[in-house]
Each structure stands twice: as C-alpha cells, then as structure tokens.
Amino acid sequence: HRDLHSFPTRRSSDLYGANRIDVPQLEVVEGPSRIDLTAQYDHAPKNLQAGNLEFRVTSSGLNLARIKNLQERRPGLAGTVALSANGSATLNEKGPRVTIHDLNADLSAKGVAAQGKNFGDLTLAAHTNAGRLNFSLDSDLAGAAIHGNGNAQLAGDYPVTAKLTFDKVAWSRLQDLIGRTSGATPGLEALAAGQVTVDGPVLNTNELRASVELTQLQVQGSPLPAARSGQMVIQNQGPIVATLERGVARIQSFHLAGAQTDIQATGSYTLQTQALNANVKANCDLNILQRMSRNFVASGSVVLTADVRGTSAKPLVNGQLELHNASANYTEISNGISNANGSIVFNGSTARVQNLTAEVGGGKLTVGGYAMYTDVLRFGLRANASNVLVRIQQGVSALADVNVQVAGGLETSRVTGTVTIDQITYAPTSDLGSIL
C-alpha cells in the first residue's frame, strides 16, 4: 500500500478494560515513513468523558505526497513532516475540557511545495519545565516571516505570556499554498505585517490582556487593461490597533485610505454582556469591484456613517448609507444597475429606503420601503419599474413594466402587484418551447 491511511500496521496487546484503554504499542510503517504510538487512558467505569491520559508519539519521514486523503484535498502538495511528542492530561466533563499537566513536542515541516513552487519550512516546539510550558514557532511558509514564543503556567487559569510577529504575509501566496478555488489569477492582493501579544490567564478573560497591531495592511487590485490610473492601492494610515483588557475588546485605531476610498472605525465590545459601541465612517469607490474581478464593471461611490449600540444579538444602528451615481454590471447577469442614487436611513432596529432611483435595462427603477429587525426580520418593500428590457435568453428579450410589493419575513412573505409585458422580441432561430 502506498497511502498512509492504509499502511500495514503491527499492534501488540491493545487492551480495553472497565476503567482503562491501554495501547502499549502501535506501529505504522511504509517505506521510510514510520509512526510509533503508546497511550493509556484511565477513566471512571462506563464513562469515557472524564479521565487521565498519557501518550507518546513519534514519527519520521512522513511524505505529504503519499498521504491519499491530503492529496485529495490539496493535489500536488509535497514535503516531509516529523513529529515527536509526549505528555499527560486530564479530560473533564465540566469546566475546561482538557487540563494539560505535561507536554513536550517538536514538529517540523521541511520542503513544503506544490505545483513546482517551494513554500518553505515550519518548526514548532513546546516543552514543560517545572510546571511551565515554553513554546516557540518559526515559519517562512508562503514567503512570510512568522516568529512566536512564550510560556504558560500549567495550573490555575493558565497564565500565559506570548508574542507573535509576522511580516510579508501575502494573500496570493497563501492562496497558492492552500490551493486556489480556480486557476484564475487573483484580482486582489492583500499584504500584512504586525504583531500579536497575549498576557494573562487564558481561562479568565476578565483578567486577560491582548493586543493586535498591524503596521501594514495594504489591499491592491490588478490594473485594468485600459486604465490610465494604474494599480489601485488602499492601505493603512498609521497602525491598526485592537486590544482586549478586562473583558472589553476595543478597536483603538482603524484607518484605510487610497483610490478615492477612506474607511475609519473605532469601537468596543464587552464579552460578558455582548454590549456594542462602535462608529464607522466610510467613503468607497465602487471601481474597486472591477479591480477585484474582471467580470465586474462598476463606478460611483457609497458613503456610510453609522453608530452601533445595543448588543450583538440585538444591534441598534443609527446613521445613513448613500449611493452616488452607483453602477454595477456583472458579465453573467444580463441586466445591471446604473446611475443609482438614494439613501438608506438607519434608526435603531429599522432601516428605511428613501428616494432610491436607478436605471435598469434602459428603464427607470424606483425602490422604497423598510426592514426591521427585533427578534425576527420583517420587511415591506416596493419596486416600480418602467420600460425595462430583460434578456430572457440569447436572441430573446422582453420589455416590461413592474409594480410589486414584498412584505413579511424570511419564513413567510407575500408578493403582490403586476408585471406587464409590453413587447417580446425574438430571433427566428429561438426555441419558443423553452421560452414558454
């Protein structure tokens, strides 16, 4: 067999008793690859949910290219992995699910590659000394420089002190590593650098302190073939900082600008009460859509000002979203929207559409109404359109007037109104049966 999940194995004295599961020796061998495991789990009678676990596992020369299940998810992934780990832990029915008493582990991944591209190496180490776990991480996978270290006390609420720094993190290279969903070249690139720090008891968030600081966050889109302005770039204006202290998460500074776009945000979120307090101001150029995907043609702008209060379960939003000459066309949809102008006013749990007009299929469209969210979503919307040309299929189109209302909720709603077809145009080769 050439697949790890079907390696020939040799087991000796695998035992299961009333209070114990014992694996004194388990070997998995295939060519130069080898895994050895011993484990013992002592538990209460007829209860596997709680007990004491001790284990030891070593592996060497694991070839990622020969693991079938991994290749099915990420074809062409290659490299070698080695692992050595031993430790002891308690499984609990209540409170923390796992309590670690001792852990010593070394993990390395060397020569990780896919489709002829070399993505680098990764090493992770964790060792217990006098009841304290010391750990470190070093990685240059996907061209990024990631380094982390810290220590945690294996008692009480697990006090931890840790720091992780990262640089040259690029979305396109991460896509290459994890596998693209399609063979298309990405229309959007994101670059990031910064650090994360954690200090305090992991199991007591009211006393835990943490921070995330992005010294670089840059989003850039591919230049359009006929664009004179070149590449679109949106990047941070000063560090982006978020903190957690005494159970309150805060966005202290968030400012992105560039390409006729400006986004700013501040706010806080209380973990225990789920209380929200945030402010967002954004002015976005819709041209960013066509920089992200060549299937889009977009222009105009969206302006948003919003204050968010309440809780995450029942947010209350006050502010306004405005459309200014907004146009968006997607190549796979026959009708797009152009010259959209109007506003959506937010008042607590209600959003009301005001004076929203646009052009669709050469005709005029007017939309109004409201949406309300309390325990459930309720809405009442109306749309009026005149002289709208709809392409039903290749060579077939219809000219229609529309006057409809939609009311209700997601579970039950009702559509009323009229659609008047004024004219149907079709080529002589059209299939009238499929049209009907």
Residue 249: the pLDDT is 96
State mean pLDDT over 302-320. Answer: 93
Q: What is the percentage of the chain residues whose pLDDT exceeds 90? A: 52
Confidence of residue 13 (pLDDT cuts 50, 70, 90): very low
Residue 180: the pLDDT is 61
DSSP string over 141-208: GGG-EEEEEEEEESSTT-EEEEEEEEEEEEHHHHHHHH--SSSSPPSEEEEEEEEEEEEEETT-TTT-
Q: Which long-range contacts (CB under 8 A, 24 or more apart) does 169-175 make?
A: 169/142, 169/144, 169/193, 170/142, 170/143, 170/144, 173/119, 173/142, 173/143, 173/144, 174/142
Q: Which residue carries 């973990």 as its tokens?
A: 271
Residue burial 118-142, b: 16+ Cβ < 10 Å; e: rest: ebbebebbbebeeeebebebebebb
Q: Which of 149-163, 176-190, 253-267, 313-327 has the lowest mean pLDDT?
A: 176-190
Cα(184)–Cα(171) distance, rounded to whole angstroms? 14
Write the pLDDT tens digit of every residue in 164-174. Answer: 999 999 988 88
Write the pLDDT tens digit of every residue in 110-164. Answer: 999 987 789 999 999 999 998 899 999 999 999 999 999 999 998 888 999 999 9
Cα(54)–Cα(38) distance, rounded to whole angstroms? 8
DSSP state of 224: P
Q: Around Cβ 425, how many Cβ atoms within 10 Å?
A: 13
Confidence of residue 376 (pLDDT cuts 50, 70, 90): confident
Contact (Cβ atoms closer than 8 angstroms) between residue 287 and residue 299: yes
Contact (Cβ atoms closer than 8 angstroms) between residue 170 and residue 218: no
Residue 333: the pLDDT is 78
3-state DSSP assignment of residue 433 = helix
Confidence of residue 335 (pLDDT cuts 50, 70, 90): confident
Residue 72: the pLDDT is 86
Cα(194)–Cα(215) distance, rounded to whole angstroms? 5
Cα(184)–Cα(355) distance, rounded to whole angstroms? 39
Instruction: Say yes or no to pLDDT of 430 above 70.
Output: no
Cα(392)–Cα(435) distance, rounded to whole angstroms? 8
Write the pLDDT tens digit of every residue in 214-238. Answer: 999 998 875 544 444 456 789 999 9
Contact (Cβ atoms closer than 8 angstroms) between residue 335 and residue 390: yes
Instruction: Say yes or no to pLDDT of 279 above 50.
Output: yes
Q: Around Cβ 261, how many Cβ atoms within 10 Å?
A: 20
Which residue type does 419 have?
V
Q: Find all residues with CB under 8 Å of 228, minimum gap 6, and list them.
A: none
